[in-house]
């Protein structure tokens, strides 16, 4: 369902912004159908790993197991299937669990994980997750969202503003917020070219807009596309789950490794030295051609075939 909607909007974006001819649009529509068949629907719901995680790496354990006076740090995860951890087979590989245990080790204190993330969520549904989190405000929130925003008919700026509103509400409640911005959908191999380039263009534009509004609202943005895309492109068999759409355990581990320092820093608990500045664009992004040039080239080829 997620992939199907993403491909439909990529087509919409290309058709309206890129000026596709009817023949080119038909080709991309066929490619979208092929990708949907290859990826298929999710085989099951994400695992759950909520509860208390300890510095020793164990958990979740009940609060009754904590020693007297031990006060866990409250940590909540909001967002879509990438935040929920769809694609892994073991609880320990969930991104929320990895990060809760990483926080517990860094802080040397228990961390209470609560996952509000739901498969298929867009920025339009994020407000409901914020409502749930603020019933008992945590100390720290991680939001990973964006891939499903490519399924909505709102412009990139509107999707980004909805995320910015969510971040502001949390910041106003004295919650530290870290956002993993939209991943690079162009790394998903089952999407054929040139549809993959269109999806890449759309997702990267959203990621840049998300970063601007998150930082303006007082949160910390981690540009997942810029930081992770080269790894996912170079080792797709290792970094994607069997559906070749959602990350594998290795993919989530790579994401957690770049998110954890930003999360510790957001609550003033990072002791690993200065954080490197996040790139404005990765080397992979610099090498990409604009979608408009791809669309123009595709139309030209189809026109030449029609006249031959």
The per-residue b/e assignment along 202-232, b for 16 or more CB within 10 angstroms, e otherwise, is: bbbbbbbbbbebbeebebbbbbbbbbbbebb
For residue 234, CA distances in Å to 190, 241, 278 come to 15, 15, 21
Is residue 159 within 8 A of residue 152, CB to CB? The reply is: yes
Residues 6+ apart with CB under 8 A from 117: 77, 78, 79, 80, 81, 83, 84, 96, 129, 144
Question: Which residue's entry shows tokens 């412009």?
Answer: 155
**Annotation marks residue 116 as catalytic:** no
**Annotation marks residue 65 as catalytic:** no
Other CB atoms within 10 Å distance of the CB of residue 193? 12
Q: Is the dihedral of CA 270, 271, 272, 276 positive or negative?
A: positive
Choose the catalytic residue: 184, 243, 248, 282: 243
Peptide bond into 160 cis (omega under 30): no
Distance CA 263, CA 242 (A): 29
Beta strands 51-53 and 111-115, pairing class: antiparallel
Choose the catalytic residue: 53, 80, 81, 149: 81
For residue 169, give the nearest of 122, 216, 144, 134 by alpha carbon. Answer: 134
CA 284: distance to chain centroid? 18
**Annotation marks residue 292 as catalytic:** no
Maximum distance among all alpha carbons in the chain?
A: 81
Q: At what angle do helices 22-39 and 195-217 cross, to 10 degrees?
A: 80
Choose the catalytic residue: 116, 184, 246, 282: 246
Question: Which residue's entry shows tokens 């992979």?
Answer: 284
- Just list the catalytic residues: 81, 243, 246
């Amino acid at each position: 369902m997620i992939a199907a909607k993403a491909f439909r909007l990529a087509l919409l974006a290309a058709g309206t912004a890129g000026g596709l001819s009817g023949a080119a649009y038909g080709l991309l529509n066929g490619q979208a159908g092929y990708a949907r068949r290859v990826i298929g629907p999710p085989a099951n719901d994400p695992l759950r790993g909520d509860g208390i995680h300890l510095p020793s790496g164990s958990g979740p354990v009940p609060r009754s197991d904590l020693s007297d006076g031990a006060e866990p740090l409250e940590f909540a995860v909001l967002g879509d299937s990438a935040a929920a951890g769809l694609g892994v087979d073991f609880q320990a590989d969930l991104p929320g669990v990895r990060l809760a245990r990483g926080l517990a080790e860094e802080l040397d204190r228990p961390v209470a994980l609560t996952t509000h993330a739901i498969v298929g969520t867009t920025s339009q549904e994020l407000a409901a997750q914020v409502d749930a989190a603020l019933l008992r405000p945590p100390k720290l929130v991680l939001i990973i969202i964006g891939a499903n925003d490519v399924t909505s008919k709102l412009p990139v700026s509107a999707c980004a503003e909805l995320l910015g509103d969510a971040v502001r509400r949390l910041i106003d409640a004295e919650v530290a917020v870290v956002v993993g911005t939209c991943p690079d959908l162009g790394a998903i191999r089952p999407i054929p070219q040139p549809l993959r380039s269109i999806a890449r263009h759309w997702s990267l534009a959203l990621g840049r807009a998300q970063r601007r509004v998150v930082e303006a609202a007082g949160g910390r943005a981690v540009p997942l596309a810029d930081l992770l895309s080269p790894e996912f492109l170079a080792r797709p068999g290792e970094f994607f789950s069997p559906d070749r759409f959602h990350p594998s355990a290795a993919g989530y581990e790579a994401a957690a490794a770049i998110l954890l320092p930003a999360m510790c820093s957001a609550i003033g608990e990072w002791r690993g030295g200065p954080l490197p500045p996040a790139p404005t664009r990765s080397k992979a992004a610099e090498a990409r051609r604009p979608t408009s040039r791809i669309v123009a080239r595709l139309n030209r080829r189809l026109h030449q075939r029609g006249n031959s």
